């Protein structure tokens, strides 16, 4: 029995089985008999399993106990020193708390800008008026253009410009 977790071993075996299912193509290379999306899924499953592989944490702890510093651990893992510490420093509880906090931030953080805001963005207003964004800010500061900062319920703020003077009332 190897050092890999059962889930990682299963993902690795599934990917290897797909890889072994390749057949020679007419050009002398190999054409996979498996469906392309099955290969993508198998690779992603293995990557997820490897990312959570307990053997990596165990190896990092062994290396640290043997005298390896965080820079050496980071180099071996292909990470920055800070990223290695973030991932593996502390006991199991501290690591789990950091991972959960990170997941929570990702769930709460919107992934894109809202598209249904009033007015125009500074860049859109600049393009419409044929000037630079800096010129838009200057015109706003001089009172030549109307602008408002729109705050969304999640706290994000966006500067919106109203070139036609059609700004909503506060």
Residue 69, both tokens: 């510093």
- Decide if 83 contacts 60 (C-beta within 8 A): no
**pLDDT score at 3:** 86
**pLDDT score at 52:** 81
Looking at the predicted structure, is the pLDDT value of residue 87 above 50? yes
**pLDDT score at 102:** 82
Looking at the predicted structure, is the pLDDT value of residue 106 above 70? yes
Helix and strand tally (H, E) in the chain? 8, 4
- Decide if 118 contacts 160 (C-beta within 8 A): yes
Helix (H/G/I), strand (E/B), else coil: 6: helix
Rounded to the nearest integer, the mean pLDDT of the chain is: 85
Each residue of 18-51: pLDDT tens digit? Answer: 888 854 444 444 555 568 898 899 999 999 888 8
Cα 77 from chain centroid? 18
- Decide if 146 contacts 165 (C-beta within 8 A): yes
Looking at the predicted structure, is the pLDDT value of residue 131 above 90? yes
Provide the sign of the torsion angle of the four alpha carbons 107, 111, 117, 121, taken in this order: positive
- Decide if 31 contacts 24 (C-beta within 8 A): yes
Closest CA to 169 of 118, 94, 93, 115: 118
Is residue 111 very low, low, confident or very high in pLDDT (cuts 50, 70, 90)?
low
Closest CA to 84 of 103, 106, 108, 68: 68
**pLDDT score at 24:** 45
CA–CA dist 98, 116 (Å, integer) = 34
């Amino acid at each position: 029995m190897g050092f890999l977790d059962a889930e990682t071993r299963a993902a690795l075996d599934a990917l290897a089985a797909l890889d072994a299912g390749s057949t020679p193509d007419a050009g002398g290379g190999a054409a996979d008999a498996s469906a392309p999306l099955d290969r993508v899924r198998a690779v992603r499953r293995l990557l997820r399993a490897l990312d959570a592989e307990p053997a990596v944490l165990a190896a990092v702890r062994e290396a640290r106990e043997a005298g390896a510093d965080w820079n050496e651990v980071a180099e071996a893992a292909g990470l920055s020193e800070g990223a290695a510490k973030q991932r593996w420093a502390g006991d199991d509880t501290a690591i789990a708390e950091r991972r959960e906090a990170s997941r929570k931030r990702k769930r709460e953080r919107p992934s894109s800008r809202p598209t249904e805001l009033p007015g125009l963005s500074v860049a859109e207003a600049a393009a419409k008026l044929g000037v630079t964004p800096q010129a838009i800010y200057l015109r706003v500061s001089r009172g030549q253009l109307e602008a408002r900062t729109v705050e969304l319920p999640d706290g994000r703020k966006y500067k919106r410009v109203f070139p036609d003077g059609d700004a909503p009332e506060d």
